[in-house]
Chain A
Amino acid sequence: MSEPMGFFTDTTVCIGCKACEVACKEWNQLPAANGGVRLLSGDSYDNTRHLDGIHWRHVKFIEQFSADRRQGRWLMMSDVCKHCVRAGCLEVCPTGAIVRTEFDTVVIQSDACNGCRDCIGACPFGVIDINPVSGTAQKCTLCYDRMKVGLEPACAKACPTKSINFGTIADLKKMAQARLGQLPQTGESRAYLYGADEGMLGGLNSFYLLVDKPEVYGLPPDPRLPSRNLKLSAVWSMLGAVVITLTGLISFRNRGRRDV
């Protein structure tokens, strides 16, 4: 197995150019939404709105203004699949279409997926959706095909500000820590890393440097695995089955006076 690879996205240097979105679409030959008909969202400069089966990169625009609008800032963040070390999608996939690669990334094999959509609801980040062209669930592959031949993913290659950094997880963590140490000197004291440590789903192989709460970026504050509910749900259900059986036995056996 190769060394774990991934992305470190430094949101403080993202300029919202969407080169990553375009590069991703182009390399992965993803179709246009609405057959190419433009629909404006009215939400800042964001007309992509969310990650789905045909948008594997999504630049979020968060406008923060004071009530009198004298002070304000834009937060920009290029979102993507987190390639979780403990991945909810991989856990539930009933066909085995979702696999962990030799780069420790998570890939949906489109030829094995049958479009059951269990992974869509299981992903803690809302990353996956159906690609209407293939009829299968799709998401970022971290450019598995490019990595196989030693190229970096298309989005990281296209990013003009080095907001999207690609490399080994070990190197990326060092880079992130260095950046975290540097930012307070520039007056930014709110910066922290989201998903870099193992506490979050074993670690996200695509982690972020953020300067506000995760919720502000549309990220879950406490992402968890879907299997957390499995045991207790099963126990309650089994208890229900026992109660139903006993109720049935009592109802069907004891026929009272009519049972002659």
Chain B
Amino acid sequence: MSSTFFTASPHWRWLILAYFFLGGLAGGSYFLATLLDLVGKGRDRRLVHLGYLIAFPLVCVCGLVLTVDLGRPERFWHMLVQSETFRPMLKTYSPMSTGAWALLLFGGCAFLSFVAVLAERGWLGWPLLRQLGPPAFVGRLVTVIGAFLGVYVAGYTGVLLAVTNRPIWADTTLLGLTFLISAASTSAALLILLGSWGGASDASMDALERFDASVLVLEAVVIAALIASLGRIATVWLNGWGLLLALMVLGGIAFPLYVRLRDRGARRAVGPALVLLGGLILRAVIIFSSDRLT
């Protein structure tokens, strides 16, 4: 038996599941918006704006749920500042420590880009704020740094689980990769849904759907690799959790891909909605199936 089965659960449950899911969406949306902004065309602006507009509220919710989940929420700042000396608190080898900093800095970038979009749209009456977004140099710098941080926020959560001693989590090194790929697929799905309601151009939507389809294929491969990497420990999924994971692969990956191939060109909300649900279920299976052990 793996030595991970002799450990205790950290009781990371619904709020942490919400954070892992929403953090992936925030980081992924920001990253995709930046990428579209860098290599896309003018007609992609609407989708780019949607990406930045959604990232900041999501990251605010992330900070909130993480704080509420603490045993002592009023001490949330202890993650960033040493409570005795008031010096910065950073452990480069602790994913939770680096993650807290990444979330803070990503939140800052997401805020600046959010404000810049409001200014560009004319919803904020101070034109100078446009400088906070591309194509201004400062704005470009903010989005590129923010995109890196967004990817970090989307993926470090899986690494955080691996850097414990819990069953399943610490028995593989592929959780960071899995969460990252899932963040990309769910973020693209979210932007497709928002884009279809928010008037994004057909060309932008086509590009995003093409991206999502490729990433979904990648996600299926990564989940297969994850199961293979667990070896004999994967047998702990021979129960309802395994069934849920199988349903996630079928309903959240295979079916959306099938719908896209069948109805090429037609925009359907069901595919992206299922991808989002699948991303949530994937994280739920990984979090709760380990929580239930020992």
Contacts and interface: CB of A to CB of B under 8 A. Distances in A.
Contacts of B79: 94-95, 114, 116
A233 B3 contact: no
Interface stretch (A143-151, A153-161, A179-187, A214-222): A214-222
Contacts of B176: 233-234, 236-237, 240
Interface centre among A130, A224, A248 (most CB of B within 10 A): A248
A237 B93 contact: no
A237 B177 contact: yes
A258 B175 CA distance: 37
A135 interface: yes
Nearest to A229: B162
A126 B71 contact: no
A111 B74 CA distance: 12
Contacts of B71: 113-117, 130, 134-137
A251 B9 contact: no
Interface in A205-260: 215, 218-224, 226-227, 229-230, 232-234, 236-237, 239-241, 243-245, 247-249, 251-253, 255, 258-259
A252 B43 CA distance: 12
Nearest to B169: A121
B218 A247 contact: yes
A3 B131 CA distance: 60
Contact of A230 (B5, B100, B163, B180): B163
A243 B221 CA distance: 13
A221 B3 contact: yes
Q: Which 5 pairs of residues, A with B, have the shortest CB-CB distance? A: A115-B71, A220-B3, A237-B176, A114-B75, A126-B8
Interface of A: 50-52, 88, 91-97, 111-118, 120-130, 134-137, 215, 218-224, 226-227, 229-230, 232-234, 236-237, 239-241, 243-245, 247-249, 251-253, 255, 258-259
Interface of B: 1, 3-12, 31-32, 35-36, 39-40, 44, 70-73, 75-76, 78-79, 82-84, 89, 91, 93-97, 100, 151, 155-156, 158-160, 162-166, 169-170, 173-177, 180-181, 184, 202-203, 206-208, 210-211, 214-215, 218, 222, 294
Given A120-B8, A127-B8, 12 more contacts: A51-B8, A94-B100, A118-B160, A123-B8, A124-B165, A233-B176, A233-B177, A236-B176, A241-B180, A255-B206, A258-B202, A258-B203
